Structure 1
């Protein structure tokens, strides 16, 4: 083997070893802040850590805000519409817009639990940092998807570790925590997927217009609206809007609105102790039977049975 090839191989091995060591350090920190199974919010806003010591037999439905998930140990699968994202240790899943998802822990044990750090993304902060990373404008984006998987590098993982270290001191959490979060975002914006993340924060871009439509749907999920009206609201033709909306969310605007309604109905029945019929009308359905059919297809059980099962899980947990 030539000396140049040997040096490149040696450098690659050292990089892998450094990444493995830094990821192990991050996993240890997560274990400290997540001492048992569950997801734990922390004193730094938008930050949470998770530990799960067994795999999921069935997917768990959730509605996620724009976020990034850094996995330090184990593996997980997230389904958005028809798209399935499988990611594992030392990888990051980016969900740039608010989405209904189905998630499943696929690699975990009591000895080596699934461990991750989650950051909720602030579009305004992304736009602010993107202007610094791309002062001459964001490169053209030709490919969109609801989720993006990124191989983390040592810098990203070590910054996440420093972020968790800030939790041990209130002053550090308040003053240094936001700086570490900014650094993580800057590293992502400078990565191969950076342009796709940055584009979402730039006013006037087609991606940003779709995010504005998503925000409107989240605020008015119970309203009746035609797709053409929604497209006009964000100054796009209906055909262009439909294409971009589906590429960014992996579903049509009406499918997205339906998912919003069903998740809100579920929340109302669980948190507000509302019966299915009342929840049905509250979220914008006009037919209880249609609501029940949609709910069963989406969550896997009729409303009443699903809510009873969820309450039993909470009680037994």
Structure 2
């Protein structure tokens, strides 16, 4: 690691440490920028990653997308280019040296604006790519991230400068070795763009059953092509994707409300409580009621 890169990471570590007073996710004065603190390693946590850039400055984390593992640390950054149900686990953290990280969420329209205003050559290839990847962090990107993070200390500058620094960060990502993944997300008509439409459709109506032919029509693809591209982007089938959304929402409802597991099963779209219990146990390791009791007593 170069001396300049080391100094930049040290400054970013101090900023995140100073402005992440709470355990977990901390909102900042910069829209779409979040600081994360964990003073202990964690068990697997299920969540939905929005399109975002994630950078760790202290500690390490593993993220599972279906059966695929992504491990990253201060030497890397992680990109999620579409909404993805994942399982994350902080694997290096302690009270003395807490896990510290940031997440910057972005939109496809922001990617498209950068492509329009830059000389980045847009790839015309039609092959969909995995919507999550880890890549080594470089100094130009870290410089831009530092400038964005510093705005927390000058809130009056946020409305003007935050969009500029965010564009610069996205420009650096697009210039990186996996920039084509983000390009395809923003280019209308690309395979990834059309899979994103299918993901939105599943997200907005995850409690309802669907016919795969309807999804294929949404994507303007054959059923076989949809299956292939959807799995390439998300590492899972459309049915598996919907199942993850249903079970994550079911767990959230069970944790936040005093409600019956069967009622929750019906609420998230299951017709059979026994099937719900089986699939819940398979995903979270325990039947619904036992899992919630375990979580509440932690």
**Range into which the TM-score falls when normalised by the shorter chain:** over 0.9
Q: Give the drift of 1:123.
A: 1.6
- The aligned residue for residue 20 of structure 1 is 6
Q: Which moved more, 1:243-252 or 1:154-163?
A: 154-163
Relative distance call for 1:32 and 1:62 in structure 2 (3 A) is: same
Q: Where do 1:27-46 residues align within 5 Å?
A: 27-46=13-32
May I ask how many residue pairs the two structures share in their alignment?
Answer: 298
Note if contact 1:55-1:107 (Cα within 8 Å) is conserved in structure 2: yes
Note if contact 1:73-1:90 (Cα within 8 Å) is conserved in structure 2: no
Report the secondary structure of 1:198's partner residue: helix
Separation in 2, partners of 1:134, 1:232: 34
User: Which of 183, 202, 212 matches 2:187?
Assistant: 202
Report the secondary structure of 2:177's partner residue: coil
Separation in 2, partners of 1:80, 1:96: 13
Separation in 2, partners of 1:105, 1:192: 26
Q: TM-score, normalised by structure 1?
A: 0.89
Separation in 2, partners of 1:142, 1:87: 26
Relative distance call for 1:194 and 1:26 in structure 2 (3 A) is: same
User: Which of 227, 230, 250 matches 2:215?
Assistant: 230
Q: Give the drift of 1:134.
A: 5.0
- The aligned residue for residue 81 of structure 2 is 96
Bigger CA radius of gyration: 1
Q: Give the drift of 1:130.
A: 2.1
- The aligned residue for residue 137 of structure 2 is 152
Separation in 1, partners of 2:150, 2:99: 20
- The aligned residue for residue 150 of structure 2 is 165
Separation in 2, partners of 1:139, 1:152: 26
- The aligned residue for residue 52 of structure 2 is 67
Q: Give the drift of 1:67.
A: 1.5
Separation in 1, partners of 2:119, 2:67: 32
Question: Residue 276 in 1 paired to residue 261 in 2?
Answer: yes
Give the unaligned 5+ runs of structure 2: none
1:184-240 CA distance string (max 9 Å, x none): 111111112111111111110011000000000000001111212201121011111
Note if contact 1:133-1:190 (Cα within 8 Å) is conserved in structure 2: no
Relative distance call for 1:135 and 1:181 in structure 2 (3 A) is: closer
User: Which of 53, 62, 67 matches 1:82?
Assistant: 67
- The aligned residue for residue 37 of structure 2 is 51
Separation in 2, partners of 1:310, 1:173: 38
1:71-114 CA distance string (max 9 Å, x none): 11211100000100011113101111111111111122223221
Relative distance call for 1:127 and 1:258 in structure 2 (3 A) is: same
**Backbone CA RMSD of aligned residues:** 1.7
Note if contact 2:128-2:191 (Cα within 8 Å) is conserved in structure 1: no
Q: Give the drift of 1:138.
A: 2.7
- The aligned residue for residue 10 of structure 1 is none
Report the secondary structure of 1:265's partner residue: helix
Q: Where do 1:118-129 residues align within 5 Å?
A: 118-129=103-114
Report the secondary structure of 1:176's partner residue: helix
- The aligned residue for residue 90 of structure 2 is 105
- The aligned residue for residue 290 of structure 2 is 305
- The aligned residue for residue 252 of structure 1 is 237
User: Which of 156, 175, 179 matches 2:160?
Assistant: 175
Q: Give the drift of 1:132.
A: 2.6
Separation in 2, partners of 1:243, 1:160: 35
Report the secondary structure of 1:101's partner residue: strand
Relative distance call for 1:173 and 1:305 in structure 2 (3 A) is: farther
